[in-house]
Structure 1
Amino acid sequence: MTGPVLAVDVGGTKLAAAVVEPDGTIAAQATVPTPVSPDAQIVAAALDNLVREVAARGPSRRLVGLGVGSAGPLDPLAGTVSPVNIGAWRDFEILDALRDVLPGRPAVLAGDGHCMALGEHWRGGYGDRSVLGIVVSTGVGGGLVIGGRVHSGGTGNAGHIGHIVIDMAGPGCACGGRGCVEALASGPMIAQWALEQGWSPGDRPADARTLAADARAGDRVAVRAFQRAARALAAGIVSAAALIDLDDVVIGGGVSGAGDVLFDPLRAAITDLAGLAFVRRVRVHESTLGGDAGLLGAAALALEAARA
């Protein structure tokens, strides 16, 4: 079965949905903030309203499948998610909650990092190269595309680079661990560290975007905050490259919008930390698809399921 599909991207900061054509063209899309609530149904209602609105704005011909990318951990077979940064959802049955939007059509679930990596691989021209996609936002997610296919692992959670431990004495992480990449390099943690070091955003939001603007203006604490986060990301990337023999790393998510204040120290830290030649060859790229990467990856999975 061929035709457009409905793609959904669930994160701790925003919920997104799109109607995507088989060639990757986005026909309709919308986003809303992820509700901050302890009530699972409030978050679910926001997602349901968004998805139905976007589906109604899509092409008149019938949608053939649903693809959902979500922050994890998750269980793709059970269709449940327990996002670290959406506390209201624990073993939330996300596929069952959305099936009524497209009754009788295939529905698939994958990690948001997997979807981001697959979207970049599909539309970014990476061919048969092994790619690690990293989403740096409210959390730090990741996904692997090896041999042209998502490597999901035994439980569907492979690629969680944000929860590689890089500092055994490091800060606690939302996952319950300690010293994870996410605990040092997520947007909220970068801003928190800067505040603790004396950074003052004034009357602006105390977030990574404001901090990046100050780093570009030369604020010393802001520059150090991004250097610290970049080194944490570099440690995770070097570890992943040593384990998997990666060709490319693609970084997206809101924090990647910091640009050179993140990517320059990141590449320098990889050069400093990588010893083996096959690890040093990994190349780091900023996402060319921005916020659409996860939606396109979810769409690719839905298109594959519809053709099966």
Structure 2
Amino acid sequence: MEEALRIAVERFVATAANASSVNICSAKLLSGGAVQENWLIETQFVGGPFDGIMSLVLRCDSTTAGVAISHNRAEEFALLKLVFNAGVTVPQPLWLCDDRTVIGRQFFIMRCIDGTAAGHLLARNAAYTSHRKGLAERLGKELARIHSIRPPHPELDFLPLTDETPAERRVKQYRAFLDSCPTAYPALEWGLRWLERHAPVQTTTTLCHGDYRTGNYMVNENGLTGILDWEFAGWSDPMEDIGWFCAKCWRFGNVAAEAGGIGDRADFYSGYENESKKLIDRISIKYWEVMAHVKWAVIALQQADRQMSGEENSLLLALTGHIVPELEWEILNLTEKD
């Protein structure tokens, strides 16, 4: 972290925390975060309620263009505060800086949590297999707590509500993208038509995480430590989150473990149903798993285009585009009997 940036953050935190002084002992840019930057800052507080050393994470916009549909940091901070107060296991949000003159970007600071979010490790490494059943149940329970938040909500007035069902909105959104592509994707068009013809009647609207999957939560040797990445949260059908979590494309090669590559679907469902006191609509879940593969294919094409257009030079973005045929195959596999 540059010296001027470090000093600016120290001053902001000292004021926000009501401390006599704050010293950032070390700052490390964490891996991942194609859309946002996350800095681990080891911080020494002098005076005030946080007196002592504390590990914090500073989250700010990436210096690249990012993804236009993601929330800004102030909105993500509001979401994080709300779900934290609702009992969802997330890093505790501490302070928001909405003044872009401080470091040139919005940012917020939260407590650091330990563990790993690496999907390939959680799904396939033997070190994380002992708590699979409990982890699947816990993740179902956490999702039910998120879905307990209903619109309208005064703290989430930045989240749009429309007369369209979530299914109708997604189909329209993805069709508009495919219509704008110079290359045809017949399997994705087939998937969209199937989704259009089989769209469920929405019965419930709740807060949805929007990217609830393995890779977006942290786990240590004792289990779950926090749900991450709230920049795509919004009002939707709660079955969308469940379908996204269970979709084959997010099992990281451990396809037999249908709950995010880490456990049994039945355990994940059990945790959700016991917490929410509501049964999961199994038929709707298949629909939203098809939607998940179409959605991820569209995102993969968009990510690849960021690299191919010269907007961003990234091998990861380029390679993301190569997963599209696998997603197309799964869409055809899921819909072939219909």
- Which TM-score band (shorter chain)? 0.3 to 0.5
Q: Which has the higher contact order (CA 8 A, sep 6+)?
A: 1
Q: TM-score, normalised by structure 2?
A: 0.30
